[in-house]
Amino acid sequence: MMAIFAIIQHKSGKADDTVAELCLAAKKIDAAAAVTAIVVGKAADCDAVAAEAAKYYANVWKIAADALAYPNAELIRPMLVKLIPAGSIVLAPFTPFGMDLCPGLSVKMNAAYCADVVGVDGLEGAALTVNRQEYAGQVYAKMKIDVSGGAVLTCRPGVFASDDVPVVNGAVADKTADAGAVPAAKRRFLEVVEAEVGDVDITKSDVLVSVGRGIESQENLEIAFDLAKIMGADVSCSRPIVDAKWLEKSRQVGTSGQTVKPKVYMAMGISGAFQHLGGIKGNPFIVAVNKNPKAPIFQVAEVGIVGDILELIPALTEKISEMKG
């Protein structure tokens, strides 16, 4: 039986959705495992989040200190290394928080590391097999992990989601003293700068014409705006379009952009990376046009066309305008 720990991401006293997902992932690794959630933060946050975590985890450890009010991985990492027994499996979400904390944590724990796990095949002796995606989601890889010295895994948010997580009403233990004094860190948190508000609020749009790198140039954006206009839609985009400064950040759909809930989402020349899909909620009718039949977007779209958006968008605009007279 493995000892499995889940590091809970939280904000303003509320646990992230991944709190239940990590528990489910742990059970897939080893159904018999003793799974412990670890909540690190300032006291008030810690208590609220630990109580939430105790719904799913038999054991919850909290580490509370004012200096831990913001999740600075450089402070948290040494405390976790001190607390977690060598040879354990540690789970965390594959988010900016998990990406910051976990690669270094695995080194300091002398454990194996595997990022962005999207599926678990199971544990056989000391070999754990998990699935992940490579090449921007175009292919999957089965990773065989030697967990004899422990392992740190980050799990992709959303994939281990389920409505029926068993409720266990576990116990919360204060491990602050055992984790030792908050270390002096060479990285200090200053502040969070909030995202700028743009002129169009795509979070309120019912229909989005969303363009990705397939649009190829800033000039070509015009065809997307023409289509959006005739459809009564707004234009949103994937990240490379914002990186290139062709559209403002407030139009970016995704985990590091906006979360949208339209009725219809037209993914035009967008590959369908999970960070992009993470911003699309509420089960819209997704239409995908992409010249690559293997693009991962086709796995989530309702309707797909393998084709060139530079041809298809103008053709669509023309037909709709003819129809409207």
Partner 1 sequence: MEILVCVKRVPDTAENEIAVNKDGSDIVRDDLVYSVNEWDNYAVEEAIQIRDKVGGSVTVVAVGDDDAEEIVRREMAMGADTGIIMKDSAFEGSDGLGIAKILAKCVSMGKYDLVLTGAMADDGAGQVGGMLAALLDWPYASVVNKVEAGSGKLTVGREIEGGNQEMNEIELPCVLSIQTGINEPRYVGIRGIRKVASVEIPCHGKDACGLDAASIGDAGAKVKRAAYFVPVLGEGAEMIEGSTDEQVDKLIELLKAKGGIK
Ligand X SMILES: Cc1cc2nc3c(=O)[nH]c(=O)nc-3n(C[C@H](O)[C@H](O)[C@H](O)COP(=O)(O)OP(=O)(O)OC[C@H]3O[C@@H](n4cnc5c(N)ncnc54)[C@H](O)[C@@H]3O)c2cc1C
Contacts (CB under 8 A) with partner 1, residues 90-129 = 95-97, 99-100, 102-108, 112-116, 129
What separation in angstroms does the CA of 37 have from each of 4, 18, 80, 118, 296? 9, 12, 12, 20, 33
139 in contact with ligand X (CB under 6 A): no
- Which stretch of DSSP H or E encloses residue 15? strand 14-15
Q: Which residues pair with 268 in a beta bridge?
A: 211, 289
**271: nearest Cα among 303, 234, 247, 299:** 299
**115 interacts with, out of partner 1, ligand X, none, CB within 5 to 8 A per kind:** partner 1
**267: nearest Cα among 246, 230, 295, 248:** 295
199 in contact with partner 1 (CB under 8 A): no
Cα–Cα distance measured from residue 8 to residue 172, given in angstroms and rounded to the nearest whole number: 14
For residue 324, give both structure tokens. 């409207």
Closer to ligand X by Cβ: residue 110 or 292:
292
**205 interacts with, out of partner 1, ligand X, none, CB within 5 to 8 A per kind:** none
**309 interacts with, out of ligand X, partner 1, none, CB within 5 to 8 A per kind:** ligand X
Cα–Cα distance measured from residue 41 to residue 13, given in angstroms and rounded to the nearest whole number: 9
Strands 207-211 and 171-174, by their bridges, are unpaired
User: Which region among 25-33, 42-50, 267-275, 314-322 touches ligand X (by CB under 6 A)?
Assistant: 267-275
210 in contact with ligand X (CB under 6 A): no
Closer to partner 1 by Cβ: residue 167 or 285:
285
**98: nearest Cα among 197, 25, 31:** 25
252 in contact with ligand X (CB under 6 A): yes
Strands 59-64 and 34-41, by their bridges, are parallel
Q: Which residues of 182-192 are buried (b: 16+ CB within 10 A; e: fewer)?
A: beeeeeeeeee
User: Which region among 39-47, 164-172, 175-183, 228-236 touches partner 1 (by CB under 8 A)?
Assistant: 228-236
For residue 89, give both structure tokens. 């499996």
269 in contact with ligand X (CB under 6 A): yes
Q: How far is the CB of 279 from ligand X (least distance, A)?
A: 6
275 in contact with ligand X (CB under 6 A): yes
270 in contact with ligand X (CB under 6 A): yes
**Amino acid letter at 323?**
M
Q: How many CB atoms lie within 10 A of CB 140?
A: 13
Please list every residue from 284 through 313 that binds partner 1, using CB under 8 A. Answer: 285-288, 292-294, 298-307, 311-312
Please list every residue from 229 through 248 that binds ligand X, using CB under 6 A. Answer: 238-240
Q: Provide Rg for the chain, Cα atoms.
A: 22
Q: Where are the alpha helices (DSSP H) in 69-151?
A: 73-83, 96-108
User: Which region among 54-62, 166-174, 198-206, 291-299 touches ligand X (by CB under 6 A)?
Assistant: 291-299
Q: How far is the CB of 310 from ligand X (least distance, A)?
A: 5
**44 interacts with, out of ligand X, partner 1, none, CB within 5 to 8 A per kind:** none
Which one among 18, 36, 72, 205 touches partner 1, defined by CB under 8 A?
72
**310 interacts with, out of partner 1, ligand X, none, CB within 5 to 8 A per kind:** ligand X
Which one among 134, 146, 302, 308 touches ligand X, defined by CB under 6 A?
308
Q: How far is the CB of 12 from partner 1 (least distance, A)?
A: 13
- Which stretch of DSSP H or E encloses residue 218? none
Q: Which positions touch ligand X (CB under 6 A)?
A: 96, 136, 212-214, 238-240, 252-257, 269-271, 273, 275-276, 279, 289-292, 295, 308-310
